[in-house]
Structure 1
Amino acid sequence: MDAPLHAEPLDVPAELALVAIDMEKYSQIPEAKMAAARCDVDDIVATVLAECELPDPQELPGGYKDNGDGAILLFPPSVLARLVDPLLGRLNGALVRYEQQRLASSPVLRLRASVHVGPLSLPDHRGDAINDTTRLLDSRATRQALSAAKDSGGFLAAALSEIAYRRTVHAGRTPDLGSHHFLGVAARVSDKPGFEQPCRIHVPGLTGPAVRLYLTDATSPTAAPASVPQPSDAPTTPAPGSGGTFQFHGQVSDSTIADRIETLRIDRRQR
Protein backbone atom coordinates (compact mmCIF):
# COMPACT_ATOMS: atom_id res chain seq x y z
CA MET A 1 0.00 0.00 0.00
CA ASP A 2 1.40 3.37 -1.00
CA ALA A 3 1.94 5.94 1.71
CA PRO A 4 -0.23 9.06 1.42
CA LEU A 5 1.41 12.02 -0.25
CA HIS A 6 2.71 14.70 2.06
CA ALA A 7 0.78 17.94 1.57
CA GLU A 8 2.96 20.87 0.61
CA PRO A 9 1.99 24.52 1.28
CA LEU A 10 1.51 25.24 -2.43
CA ASP A 11 -0.59 22.14 -3.15
CA VAL A 12 -4.11 22.82 -4.42
CA PRO A 13 -6.70 21.76 -1.82
CA ALA A 14 -9.33 19.20 -2.70
CA GLU A 15 -12.47 20.50 -4.42
CA LEU A 16 -15.71 20.88 -2.54
CA ALA A 17 -19.22 21.84 -3.55
CA LEU A 18 -20.57 24.82 -1.61
CA VAL A 19 -24.08 26.08 -0.90
CA ALA A 20 -24.58 29.37 0.94
CA ILE A 21 -27.92 30.56 2.27
CA ASP A 22 -28.97 33.85 3.81
CA MET A 23 -32.23 34.98 5.39
CA GLU A 24 -33.81 38.14 4.04
CA LYS A 25 -34.19 40.97 6.57
CA TYR A 26 -32.93 38.85 9.45
CA SER A 27 -31.67 41.95 11.28
CA GLN A 28 -35.22 43.38 11.22
CA ILE A 29 -36.67 40.43 13.12
CA PRO A 30 -37.30 41.26 16.79
CA GLU A 31 -34.45 39.90 18.87
CA ALA A 32 -36.76 37.65 20.89
CA LYS A 33 -37.82 35.87 17.67
CA MET A 34 -34.46 35.59 15.92
CA ALA A 35 -33.46 32.24 17.40
CA ALA A 36 -36.80 30.62 16.58
CA ALA A 37 -36.75 31.91 12.99
CA ARG A 38 -33.21 30.68 12.43
CA CYS A 39 -34.12 27.31 13.97
CA ASP A 40 -37.03 27.03 11.52
CA VAL A 41 -34.69 27.69 8.59
CA ASP A 42 -32.21 25.09 9.84
CA ASP A 43 -35.00 22.52 10.20
CA ILE A 44 -36.30 23.25 6.69
CA VAL A 45 -32.84 22.94 5.15
CA ALA A 46 -32.06 19.71 7.03
CA THR A 47 -35.36 18.17 5.94
CA VAL A 48 -34.86 19.09 2.29
CA LEU A 49 -31.28 17.78 2.28
CA ALA A 50 -32.57 14.45 3.55
CA GLU A 51 -35.34 14.40 0.91
CA CYS A 52 -32.70 14.94 -1.78
CA GLU A 53 -30.56 12.14 -0.30
CA LEU A 54 -27.69 14.57 0.23
CA PRO A 55 -25.07 14.04 2.92
CA ASP A 56 -25.26 15.97 6.17
CA PRO A 57 -22.65 18.77 5.92
CA GLN A 58 -22.07 18.61 9.66
CA GLU A 59 -20.64 15.09 9.25
CA LEU A 60 -17.76 16.58 7.23
CA PRO A 61 -15.07 18.20 9.44
CA GLY A 62 -15.60 21.93 8.96
CA GLY A 63 -18.48 21.20 6.62
CA TYR A 64 -20.89 23.65 8.24
CA LYS A 65 -20.09 27.32 8.76
CA ASP A 66 -22.66 29.39 10.65
CA ASN A 67 -22.94 33.02 9.52
CA GLY A 68 -25.60 34.19 11.97
CA ASP A 69 -28.33 34.99 9.45
CA GLY A 70 -27.32 32.08 7.24
CA ALA A 71 -24.77 29.36 6.70
CA ILE A 72 -22.31 27.86 4.24
CA LEU A 73 -22.72 24.13 3.65
CA LEU A 74 -19.96 21.97 2.18
CA PHE A 75 -20.45 18.76 0.21
CA PRO A 76 -18.43 16.28 -1.84
CA PRO A 77 -18.16 17.64 -5.41
CA SER A 78 -19.82 14.51 -6.79
CA VAL A 79 -23.25 15.71 -5.54
CA LEU A 80 -23.01 19.16 -7.17
CA ALA A 81 -25.85 18.52 -9.64
CA ARG A 82 -28.27 17.56 -6.85
CA LEU A 83 -27.48 20.84 -5.10
CA VAL A 84 -29.11 22.51 -8.11
CA ASP A 85 -31.82 20.01 -9.01
CA PRO A 86 -33.76 18.95 -7.01
CA LEU A 87 -32.46 20.92 -4.01
CA LEU A 88 -33.36 24.47 -5.07
CA GLY A 89 -36.88 23.62 -6.19
CA ARG A 90 -37.62 21.55 -3.11
CA LEU A 91 -36.22 24.20 -0.82
CA ASN A 92 -38.54 26.78 -2.34
CA GLY A 93 -41.44 24.34 -2.04
CA ALA A 94 -40.68 23.80 1.65
CA LEU A 95 -40.63 27.56 2.23
CA VAL A 96 -43.99 27.88 0.46
CA ARG A 97 -45.48 25.22 2.76
CA TYR A 98 -44.00 26.96 5.78
CA GLU A 99 -45.66 30.21 4.73
CA GLN A 100 -49.03 28.48 4.40
CA GLN A 101 -48.78 27.28 8.01
CA ARG A 102 -46.94 30.26 9.49
CA LEU A 103 -48.41 31.97 12.53
CA ALA A 104 -49.14 35.66 12.03
CA SER A 105 -46.68 36.48 14.80
CA SER A 106 -43.82 34.66 13.04
CA PRO A 107 -41.64 36.39 10.43
CA VAL A 108 -41.79 35.53 6.73
CA LEU A 109 -38.86 33.33 5.69
CA ARG A 110 -37.26 34.19 2.35
CA LEU A 111 -33.81 32.99 1.37
CA ARG A 112 -31.05 33.88 -1.04
CA ALA A 113 -28.74 31.03 -2.01
CA SER A 114 -25.60 30.46 -4.05
CA VAL A 115 -23.97 27.32 -5.41
CA HIS A 116 -20.30 27.00 -6.32
CA VAL A 117 -17.53 24.42 -6.55
CA GLY A 118 -13.80 24.85 -6.06
CA PRO A 119 -10.74 24.00 -3.98
CA LEU A 120 -11.03 24.76 -0.29
CA SER A 121 -8.90 23.81 2.68
CA LEU A 122 -10.53 22.42 5.80
CA PRO A 123 -11.20 22.98 8.59
CA ASP A 124 -9.97 26.59 8.28
CA HIS A 125 -12.09 27.41 5.17
CA ARG A 126 -9.23 29.19 3.44
CA GLY A 127 -9.59 29.72 -0.28
CA ASP A 128 -11.25 31.76 -3.00
CA ALA A 129 -14.11 29.27 -3.28
CA ILE A 130 -15.75 30.34 -0.04
CA ASN A 131 -15.19 34.04 -0.80
CA ASP A 132 -16.75 33.73 -4.25
CA THR A 133 -19.71 31.76 -2.88
CA THR A 134 -20.40 34.48 -0.34
CA ARG A 135 -20.11 37.27 -2.90
CA LEU A 136 -22.48 35.52 -5.29
CA LEU A 137 -24.92 35.31 -2.40
CA ASP A 138 -24.52 39.02 -1.65
CA SER A 139 -24.54 40.17 -5.27
CA ARG A 140 -26.96 42.82 -6.45
CA ALA A 141 -28.39 40.38 -8.98
CA THR A 142 -29.30 37.75 -6.37
CA ARG A 143 -30.94 40.38 -4.18
CA GLN A 144 -32.94 41.77 -7.09
CA ALA A 145 -33.99 38.27 -8.14
CA LEU A 146 -35.62 37.78 -4.75
CA SER A 147 -38.08 40.51 -5.75
CA ALA A 148 -39.04 38.38 -8.75
CA ALA A 149 -39.60 35.46 -6.38
CA LYS A 150 -41.83 37.59 -4.15
CA ASP A 151 -44.00 38.75 -7.04
CA SER A 152 -44.47 35.17 -8.25
CA GLY A 153 -45.33 33.75 -4.83
CA GLY A 154 -41.87 32.22 -4.29
CA PHE A 155 -39.45 32.43 -1.37
CA LEU A 156 -36.04 31.67 -2.90
CA ALA A 157 -33.60 33.19 -5.40
CA ALA A 158 -30.29 31.52 -6.19
CA ALA A 159 -27.05 32.26 -8.03
CA LEU A 160 -24.90 29.57 -9.62
CA SER A 161 -21.28 30.25 -10.43
CA GLU A 162 -20.51 29.75 -14.11
CA ILE A 163 -18.46 26.61 -13.38
CA ALA A 164 -21.27 25.14 -11.26
CA TYR A 165 -23.77 25.90 -14.04
CA ARG A 166 -21.63 24.30 -16.74
CA ARG A 167 -20.99 21.16 -14.71
CA THR A 168 -24.67 20.70 -13.90
CA VAL A 169 -27.28 22.39 -16.12
CA HIS A 170 -25.15 22.79 -19.25
CA ALA A 171 -23.89 19.21 -18.88
CA GLY A 172 -27.44 17.85 -18.78
CA ARG A 173 -27.33 16.66 -15.17
CA THR A 174 -30.45 18.54 -14.02
CA PRO A 175 -33.45 16.65 -15.44
CA ASP A 176 -36.08 19.21 -14.36
CA LEU A 177 -34.09 22.35 -15.13
CA GLY A 178 -32.83 23.60 -18.47
CA SER A 179 -30.92 26.61 -19.67
CA HIS A 180 -34.16 28.59 -20.08
CA HIS A 181 -34.66 28.45 -16.30
CA PHE A 182 -31.51 30.53 -15.78
CA LEU A 183 -30.42 34.05 -16.60
CA GLY A 184 -26.83 35.05 -17.25
CA VAL A 185 -25.74 38.06 -15.20
CA ALA A 186 -22.63 39.85 -14.06
CA ALA A 187 -22.44 39.37 -10.29
CA ARG A 188 -21.37 42.57 -8.56
CA VAL A 189 -21.31 43.48 -4.87
CA SER A 190 -21.79 47.09 -3.82
CA ASP A 191 -19.05 47.09 -1.16
CA LYS A 192 -16.61 44.96 -3.24
CA PRO A 193 -15.81 47.21 -6.24
CA GLY A 194 -13.12 44.83 -7.51
CA PHE A 195 -15.45 41.83 -7.71
CA GLU A 196 -17.27 40.98 -10.91
CA GLN A 197 -17.98 37.46 -12.13
CA PRO A 198 -20.42 35.89 -14.57
CA CYS A 199 -23.05 33.71 -12.95
CA ARG A 200 -26.53 32.30 -13.58
CA ILE A 201 -29.59 33.43 -11.65
CA HIS A 202 -32.43 31.02 -10.92
CA VAL A 203 -35.83 31.64 -9.35
CA PRO A 204 -37.79 28.39 -8.95
CA GLY A 205 -40.97 28.49 -11.02
CA LEU A 206 -39.77 31.22 -13.39
CA THR A 207 -37.84 31.28 -16.64
CA GLY A 208 -34.78 33.42 -17.15
CA PRO A 209 -36.55 36.01 -19.35
CA ALA A 210 -39.22 36.47 -16.66
CA VAL A 211 -36.52 37.30 -14.11
CA ARG A 212 -34.68 39.65 -16.47
CA LEU A 213 -37.23 42.42 -15.83
CA TYR A 214 -36.03 42.71 -12.24
CA LEU A 215 -32.27 42.77 -12.87
CA THR A 216 -29.95 45.59 -13.82
CA ASP A 217 -26.89 43.42 -14.48
CA ALA A 218 -28.36 40.92 -16.96
CA THR A 219 -26.00 39.81 -19.72
CA SER A 220 -25.96 37.36 -22.60
CA PRO A 221 -22.95 35.15 -21.78
CA THR A 222 -23.52 32.75 -24.68
CA ALA A 223 -24.40 35.32 -27.31
CA ALA A 224 -21.92 35.93 -30.10
CA PRO A 225 -20.44 39.44 -30.16
CA ALA A 226 -22.13 41.78 -32.56
CA SER A 227 -20.25 42.34 -35.80
CA VAL A 228 -18.71 45.72 -36.31
CA PRO A 229 -19.98 47.45 -39.48
CA GLN A 230 -17.24 48.05 -42.02
CA PRO A 231 -16.99 51.25 -44.07
CA SER A 232 -18.05 49.34 -47.19
CA ASP A 233 -21.22 48.04 -45.54
CA ALA A 234 -24.22 49.79 -47.04
CA PRO A 235 -27.44 50.08 -45.10
CA THR A 236 -30.20 47.89 -46.42
CA THR A 237 -33.93 48.38 -46.41
CA PRO A 238 -36.11 45.36 -45.45
CA ALA A 239 -38.10 44.01 -48.34
CA PRO A 240 -41.86 44.55 -48.13
CA GLY A 241 -43.57 41.69 -46.34
CA SER A 242 -40.25 40.31 -45.04
CA GLY A 243 -41.66 40.42 -41.51
CA GLY A 244 -39.95 40.86 -38.19
CA THR A 245 -39.85 39.61 -34.64
CA PHE A 246 -41.11 41.53 -31.62
CA GLN A 247 -40.49 40.43 -28.03
CA PHE A 248 -42.52 41.87 -25.19
CA HIS A 249 -41.59 41.00 -21.60
CA GLY A 250 -44.45 42.86 -19.99
CA GLN A 251 -48.01 43.96 -20.65
CA VAL A 252 -48.43 45.99 -23.83
CA SER A 253 -50.82 48.88 -23.31
CA ASP A 254 -50.17 50.95 -26.46
CA SER A 255 -52.47 49.85 -29.25
CA THR A 256 -50.05 51.02 -31.93
CA ILE A 257 -46.88 48.95 -32.29
CA ALA A 258 -46.24 49.22 -36.01
CA ASP A 259 -47.84 50.84 -39.00
CA ARG A 260 -49.03 47.48 -40.30
CA ILE A 261 -48.82 43.90 -39.07
CA GLU A 262 -49.96 41.26 -41.56
CA THR A 263 -49.43 38.10 -39.46
CA LEU A 264 -49.19 37.81 -35.67
CA ARG A 265 -48.02 34.62 -33.97
CA ILE A 266 -48.05 34.46 -30.15
CA ASP A 267 -45.43 32.20 -28.57
CA ARG A 268 -46.50 31.19 -25.05
CA ARG A 269 -43.74 28.70 -24.33
CA GLN A 270 -42.19 30.85 -21.59
CA ARG A 271 -45.42 31.34 -19.68
Structure 2
Amino acid sequence: MNSYPLPSYRGILTVDAVAYSKNPGRHLPQLSATVHKVVEAAFARTSELGDSWRPERKGDTGDGCFIIVPAEVTPFLVHPLLNHLQDCLEETAPTLAAIGLSLRLRVAIGIGAVPEDRNASTALNNTFRLLDSAPIRAVVDQSEPGVTLLAAILANRVYEDVILDGFTALRPAEFQRVEATVPTKQFVQTAWLRVPRPTYAAEQSAQGIPVASDRDVGPSLEATSKQTCARPSDISTTINGSVGQNVNADSVTLPPLTLPADFFQFTPPREA
Protein backbone atom coordinates (compact mmCIF):
# COMPACT_ATOMS: atom_id res chain seq x y z
CA MET A 1 0.00 0.00 0.00
CA ASN A 2 1.17 3.49 -0.82
CA SER A 3 1.37 6.58 1.38
CA TYR A 4 0.52 10.05 0.08
CA PRO A 5 1.65 13.56 0.92
CA LEU A 6 -0.61 15.34 3.37
CA PRO A 7 -2.05 18.60 2.01
CA SER A 8 -1.14 21.76 3.84
CA TYR A 9 -3.15 22.68 6.91
CA ARG A 10 -5.27 25.77 6.42
CA GLY A 11 -7.82 27.82 8.25
CA ILE A 12 -11.39 27.73 6.92
CA LEU A 13 -14.15 30.32 7.19
CA THR A 14 -17.64 29.53 5.92
CA VAL A 15 -20.44 32.10 5.89
CA ASP A 16 -24.18 31.75 5.37
CA ALA A 17 -26.98 34.35 5.27
CA VAL A 18 -29.78 33.63 7.73
CA ALA A 19 -33.22 33.06 6.13
CA TYR A 20 -31.81 33.96 2.73
CA SER A 21 -34.45 32.11 0.70
CA LYS A 22 -37.32 33.79 2.57
CA ASN A 23 -36.57 37.08 0.84
CA PRO A 24 -38.23 38.05 -2.47
CA GLY A 25 -36.37 36.59 -5.42
CA ARG A 26 -35.59 39.95 -6.99
CA HIS A 27 -33.58 40.92 -3.88
CA LEU A 28 -31.47 37.77 -3.66
CA PRO A 29 -28.66 38.96 -5.96
CA GLN A 30 -28.31 42.13 -3.89
CA LEU A 31 -28.22 40.17 -0.62
CA SER A 32 -25.64 37.76 -2.02
CA ALA A 33 -23.45 40.66 -3.11
CA THR A 34 -23.87 42.31 0.29
CA VAL A 35 -22.63 39.17 2.06
CA HIS A 36 -19.40 39.34 0.06
CA LYS A 37 -19.03 43.09 0.66
CA VAL A 38 -19.52 42.71 4.41
CA VAL A 39 -17.00 39.88 4.70
CA GLU A 40 -14.50 41.73 2.51
CA ALA A 41 -14.87 44.87 4.61
CA ALA A 42 -14.31 42.89 7.81
CA PHE A 43 -11.19 41.30 6.34
CA ALA A 44 -9.91 44.74 5.37
CA ARG A 45 -10.26 45.86 9.00
CA THR A 46 -8.36 42.79 10.22
CA SER A 47 -4.88 43.80 9.12
CA GLU A 48 -3.35 40.60 10.49
CA LEU A 49 -5.10 38.63 7.73
CA GLY A 50 -3.09 40.51 5.14
CA ASP A 51 -4.18 39.80 1.57
CA SER A 52 -6.11 36.64 2.47
CA TRP A 53 -9.24 37.96 0.72
CA ARG A 54 -8.19 36.95 -2.78
CA PRO A 55 -10.24 35.38 -5.59
CA GLU A 56 -8.20 32.19 -5.61
CA ARG A 57 -8.80 31.67 -1.90
CA LYS A 58 -12.55 32.22 -1.73
CA GLY A 59 -15.68 30.70 -3.17
CA ASP A 60 -19.31 31.69 -3.65
CA THR A 61 -22.16 29.52 -2.33
CA GLY A 62 -25.04 31.73 -3.47
CA ASP A 63 -26.36 32.56 -0.01
CA GLY A 64 -22.86 32.89 1.43
CA CYS A 65 -19.20 32.27 0.80
CA PHE A 66 -16.11 30.51 2.08
CA ILE A 67 -12.44 31.39 2.26
CA ILE A 68 -9.30 29.36 2.89
CA VAL A 69 -6.41 31.06 4.70
CA PRO A 70 -2.93 30.02 5.83
CA ALA A 71 -3.15 28.07 9.09
CA GLU A 72 -1.00 30.56 10.97
CA VAL A 73 -3.58 33.36 10.63
CA THR A 74 -6.51 31.22 11.84
CA PRO A 75 -6.55 32.96 15.27
CA PHE A 76 -7.47 36.22 13.55
CA LEU A 77 -10.53 34.60 12.00
CA VAL A 78 -11.79 34.22 15.56
CA HIS A 79 -10.61 37.55 16.89
CA PRO A 80 -10.92 40.30 15.85
CA LEU A 81 -12.64 39.28 12.59
CA LEU A 82 -15.90 38.17 14.25
CA ASN A 83 -16.27 41.53 15.99
CA HIS A 84 -15.56 43.33 12.72
CA LEU A 85 -18.23 41.26 10.98
CA GLN A 86 -20.81 42.27 13.59
CA ASP A 87 -19.78 45.92 13.20
CA CYS A 88 -19.99 45.81 9.40
CA LEU A 89 -23.43 44.21 9.55
CA GLU A 90 -24.63 46.95 11.90
CA GLU A 91 -23.33 49.60 9.52
CA THR A 92 -25.04 47.95 6.55
CA ALA A 93 -28.38 47.47 8.33
CA PRO A 94 -29.86 50.97 7.71
CA THR A 95 -29.25 50.75 3.95
CA LEU A 96 -30.93 47.35 3.74
CA ALA A 97 -33.78 48.42 6.04
CA ALA A 98 -34.59 51.29 3.69
CA ILE A 99 -35.65 48.75 1.07
CA GLY A 100 -37.25 46.34 3.54
CA LEU A 101 -34.34 43.91 3.87
CA SER A 102 -32.10 42.69 6.67
CA LEU A 103 -28.98 40.58 6.86
CA ARG A 104 -27.72 38.28 9.60
CA LEU A 105 -24.91 35.76 9.24
CA ARG A 106 -23.93 32.37 10.57
CA VAL A 107 -20.20 31.68 10.52
CA ALA A 108 -18.21 28.48 11.03
CA ILE A 109 -14.45 28.32 11.52
CA GLY A 110 -12.47 25.14 10.93
CA ILE A 111 -8.91 24.02 10.32
CA GLY A 112 -7.43 21.02 8.56
CA ALA A 113 -5.78 19.61 5.47
CA VAL A 114 -7.02 21.34 2.32
CA PRO A 115 -5.63 20.55 -1.16
CA GLU A 116 -4.25 23.29 -3.37
CA ASP A 117 -7.37 23.35 -5.55
CA ARG A 118 -9.45 24.03 -2.39
CA ASN A 119 -12.45 22.37 -3.99
CA ALA A 120 -12.96 19.42 -1.66
CA SER A 121 -11.61 18.12 1.63
CA THR A 122 -12.94 16.53 4.79
CA ALA A 123 -12.02 19.62 6.79
CA LEU A 124 -13.97 21.88 4.41
CA ASN A 125 -16.97 19.54 4.41
CA ASN A 126 -17.02 19.38 8.21
CA THR A 127 -16.83 23.16 8.50
CA PHE A 128 -19.89 23.45 6.26
CA ARG A 129 -21.63 20.86 8.45
CA LEU A 130 -20.92 23.02 11.50
CA LEU A 131 -22.42 25.99 9.67
CA ASP A 132 -25.62 24.01 9.13
CA SER A 133 -25.77 22.39 12.57
CA ALA A 134 -28.61 22.65 15.05
CA PRO A 135 -26.87 24.65 17.84
CA ILE A 136 -25.88 27.63 15.71
CA ARG A 137 -29.32 27.72 14.10
CA ALA A 138 -30.90 27.67 17.55
CA VAL A 139 -28.79 30.50 18.94
CA VAL A 140 -29.76 32.65 15.96
CA ASP A 141 -33.45 31.80 16.30
CA GLN A 142 -33.43 32.58 20.04
CA SER A 143 -31.76 35.98 19.73
CA GLU A 144 -33.02 39.47 18.94
CA PRO A 145 -32.85 39.93 15.14
CA GLY A 146 -32.07 43.63 15.27
CA VAL A 147 -29.13 43.26 17.67
CA THR A 148 -27.49 39.86 17.28
CA LEU A 149 -26.48 39.97 13.63
CA LEU A 150 -23.76 37.32 13.81
CA ALA A 151 -23.28 33.92 15.45
CA ALA A 152 -20.18 31.78 15.04
CA ILE A 153 -19.30 28.16 15.72
CA LEU A 154 -15.76 26.83 16.03
CA ALA A 155 -14.53 23.35 15.33
CA ASN A 156 -13.12 21.65 18.40
CA ARG A 157 -9.66 21.61 16.83
CA VAL A 158 -9.79 25.41 16.40
CA TYR A 159 -10.91 25.82 20.00
CA GLU A 160 -8.06 23.64 21.28
CA ASP A 161 -5.30 25.05 19.07
CA VAL A 162 -6.34 28.70 19.12
CA ILE A 163 -8.34 29.37 22.29
CA LEU A 164 -6.96 26.91 24.84
CA ASP A 165 -3.38 27.49 23.69
CA GLY A 166 -3.82 31.24 24.14
CA PHE A 167 -3.43 32.51 20.58
CA THR A 168 -6.23 35.09 20.97
CA ALA A 169 -7.23 37.57 23.65
CA LEU A 170 -10.49 35.66 24.12
CA ARG A 171 -10.83 33.31 27.07
CA PRO A 172 -12.34 29.81 27.08
CA ALA A 173 -15.23 31.04 29.22
CA GLU A 174 -16.36 33.22 26.30
CA PHE A 175 -17.32 30.11 24.32
CA GLN A 176 -20.13 27.62 24.86
CA ARG A 177 -19.55 23.94 24.27
CA VAL A 178 -22.22 22.23 22.15
CA GLU A 179 -22.76 19.00 20.29
CA ALA A 180 -23.10 20.08 16.67
CA THR A 181 -25.50 17.77 14.88
CA VAL A 182 -26.84 17.55 11.34
CA PRO A 183 -29.14 14.50 11.49
CA THR A 184 -29.67 14.30 7.73
CA LYS A 185 -25.89 14.00 7.25
CA GLN A 186 -25.28 11.75 10.28
CA PHE A 187 -22.90 14.41 11.55
CA VAL A 188 -22.07 14.84 15.25
CA GLN A 189 -19.07 16.77 16.56
CA THR A 190 -18.13 18.77 19.61
CA ALA A 191 -17.99 22.45 18.75
CA TRP A 192 -17.94 25.88 20.43
CA LEU A 193 -20.31 28.81 20.02
CA ARG A 194 -19.28 32.45 20.06
CA VAL A 195 -21.74 35.36 19.72
CA PRO A 196 -20.18 38.86 19.67
CA ARG A 197 -23.44 40.55 20.73
CA PRO A 198 -25.67 37.98 22.45
CA THR A 199 -29.33 38.64 23.19
CA TYR A 200 -32.05 36.37 24.50
CA ALA A 201 -35.26 38.34 23.92
CA ALA A 202 -36.85 35.82 21.57
CA GLU A 203 -36.23 32.91 23.96
CA GLN A 204 -37.56 34.84 26.94
CA SER A 205 -40.65 35.95 25.05
CA ALA A 206 -41.36 32.38 23.97
CA GLN A 207 -41.29 31.35 27.62
CA GLY A 208 -43.53 34.24 28.65
CA ILE A 209 -40.70 36.01 30.46
CA PRO A 210 -40.66 39.79 29.88
CA VAL A 211 -37.36 41.35 28.88
CA ALA A 212 -36.04 43.34 31.82
CA SER A 213 -35.42 47.03 31.43
CA ASP A 214 -34.28 49.81 33.71
CA ARG A 215 -37.95 50.52 34.39
CA ASP A 216 -38.73 46.97 35.49
CA VAL A 217 -36.78 46.98 38.72
CA GLY A 218 -39.62 47.00 41.27
CA PRO A 219 -41.32 49.87 43.08
CA SER A 220 -39.40 53.06 43.66
CA LEU A 221 -38.23 54.14 47.08
CA GLU A 222 -40.74 57.00 47.02
CA ALA A 223 -43.64 54.65 46.28
CA THR A 224 -42.50 52.25 48.97
CA SER A 225 -42.23 55.01 51.55
CA LYS A 226 -45.90 55.89 51.02
CA GLN A 227 -47.09 52.45 52.04
CA THR A 228 -48.47 52.22 55.61
CA CYS A 229 -48.70 49.30 57.97
CA ALA A 230 -51.98 48.24 59.55
CA ARG A 231 -52.41 49.11 63.20
CA PRO A 232 -53.08 46.22 65.58
CA SER A 233 -56.47 47.69 66.44
CA ASP A 234 -57.47 47.57 62.76
CA ILE A 235 -57.03 43.81 62.52
CA SER A 236 -60.06 41.69 63.20
CA THR A 237 -60.92 38.10 62.37
CA THR A 238 -63.91 35.96 63.10
CA ILE A 239 -63.93 32.19 63.68
CA ASN A 240 -67.25 30.46 63.17
CA GLY A 241 -67.90 27.23 65.02
CA SER A 242 -69.87 25.67 67.82
CA VAL A 243 -68.68 25.95 71.35
CA GLY A 244 -66.51 23.00 72.34
CA GLN A 245 -65.51 22.19 68.73
CA ASN A 246 -62.00 22.27 67.35
CA VAL A 247 -61.96 24.87 64.60
CA ASN A 248 -59.21 25.00 61.97
CA ALA A 249 -58.52 28.27 60.18
CA ASP A 250 -55.74 29.80 58.15
CA SER A 251 -55.93 32.92 60.27
CA VAL A 252 -57.43 33.87 63.57
CA THR A 253 -59.11 37.18 64.23
CA LEU A 254 -59.42 38.45 67.73
CA PRO A 255 -61.47 41.39 68.86
CA PRO A 256 -59.60 44.69 69.21
CA LEU A 257 -57.47 44.74 72.30
CA THR A 258 -58.13 47.70 74.64
CA LEU A 259 -55.71 48.40 77.46
CA PRO A 260 -56.11 50.84 80.36
CA ALA A 261 -54.58 54.25 79.76
CA ASP A 262 -52.12 53.75 82.62
CA PHE A 263 -51.16 50.18 81.61
CA PHE A 264 -47.56 51.10 80.76
CA GLN A 265 -47.08 53.46 83.67
CA PHE A 266 -44.84 52.24 86.47
CA THR A 267 -45.56 53.17 90.09
CA PRO A 268 -42.71 52.35 92.50
CA PRO A 269 -43.70 50.56 95.70
CA ARG A 270 -43.93 52.60 98.90
CA GLU A 271 -41.27 52.06 101.55
CA ALA A 272 -42.50 50.36 104.70
Asked if TM exceeds 0.5, the reply is yes
Higher mean displacement: 74-83 or 26-35: 26-35
Aligned partner (choices 182, 190, 194) of residue 198 of structure 1: 190
1:67 aligned partner: 61
Aligned partner (choices 12, 20, 38) of residue 26 of structure 1: 20
Aligned CA distance change for structure 1 residues 111 and 153 (closer, same or farther; 3 Å)? same
1:14 aligned onto 2:22: no
2:179 aligned partner: 186
Alignment of 1:1-271 (within 5 A): 10-53=4-47, 54-57=49-52, 59=54, 61=56, 63-150=57-144, 153-175=147-169, 177-193=170-186, 195-206=187-198
Q: Contact conserved, 2:147 with 2:197, CA < 8 A, in 1?
A: no
Q: Contact conserved, 2:163 with 2:172, CA < 8 A, in 1?
A: yes
Higher mean displacement: 140-149 or 196-205: 140-149
**Equivalent-residue separation in structure 2 for 1:108 and 1:87 (angstroms):** 21
Higher helix share: 2
Q: Contact conserved, 2:110 with 2:127, CA < 8 A, in 1?
A: yes
CA root-mean-square deviation = 2.5
**Equivalent-residue separation in structure 2 for 1:149 and 1:82 (angstroms):** 25
Deviations 1:192-232 (A, max 9, x none): 12x1100001111349xx79x79xxxxxxxxxxxxxxxxxx
Aligned CA distance change for structure 1 residues 205 and 124 (closer, same or farther; 3 Å)? closer
**Equivalent-residue separation in structure 2 for 1:124 and 1:203 (angstroms):** 28
Secondary structure at the counterpart of residue 173 of structure 1: coil
Q: CA deviation at 1:84?
A: 0.2
Q: Contact conserved, 1:77 with 1:117, CA < 8 A, in 2?
A: yes
Q: Contact conserved, 1:149 with 1:157, CA < 8 A, in 2?
A: no
**Equivalent-residue separation in structure 2 for 1:133 and 1:174 (angstroms):** 20
Q: CA deviation at 1:106?
A: 3.8
Aligned CA distance change for structure 1 residues 149 and 83 (closer, same or farther; 3 Å)? farther
Aligned CA distance change for structure 1 residues 156 and 174 (closer, same or farther; 3 Å)? same
Given the two structures, how large is their TM-score scaled by the length of structure 2?
Answer: 0.68
**Equivalent-residue separation in structure 1 for 2:41 and 2:131 (angstroms):** 22
2:219 aligned partner: none
Q: CA deviation at 1:69?
A: 0.6
Number of aligned residues: 203
Q: CA deviation at 1:9?
A: 7.0
Q: CA deviation at 1:31?
A: 1.6
Secondary structure at the counterpart of residue 164 of structure 2: coil
Unaligned stretches of 5+ residues in structure 1: 1-7, 215-249, 252-271
Aligned CA distance change for structure 1 residues 201 and 118 (closer, same or farther; 3 Å)? same
> Quick check: which has more Rg, 1 or 2?
2
**Equivalent-residue separation in structure 2 for 1:149 and 1:86 (angstroms):** 22
2:230 aligned partner: none
**Equivalent-residue separation in structure 2 for 1:57 and 1:200 (angstroms):** 24
**Equivalent-residue separation in structure 2 for 1:202 and 1:14 (angstroms):** 27
Q: Contact conserved, 1:149 with 1:203, CA < 8 A, in 2?
A: no
Q: Runs of 4 or more off by more than 6 Å in structure 1?
A: none
Secondary structure at the counterpart of residue 102 of structure 1: helix
Aligned CA distance change for structure 1 residues 154 and 206 (closer, same or farther; 3 Å)? closer
Secondary structure at the counterpart of residue 150 of structure 1: coil
Unaligned stretches of 5+ residues in structure 2: 205-210, 213-272
Aligned CA distance change for structure 1 residues 129 and 117 (closer, same or farther; 3 Å)? same
Given the two structures, how large is their TM-score scaled by the length of structure 1?
Answer: 0.68
1:164 alignment partner AA: V
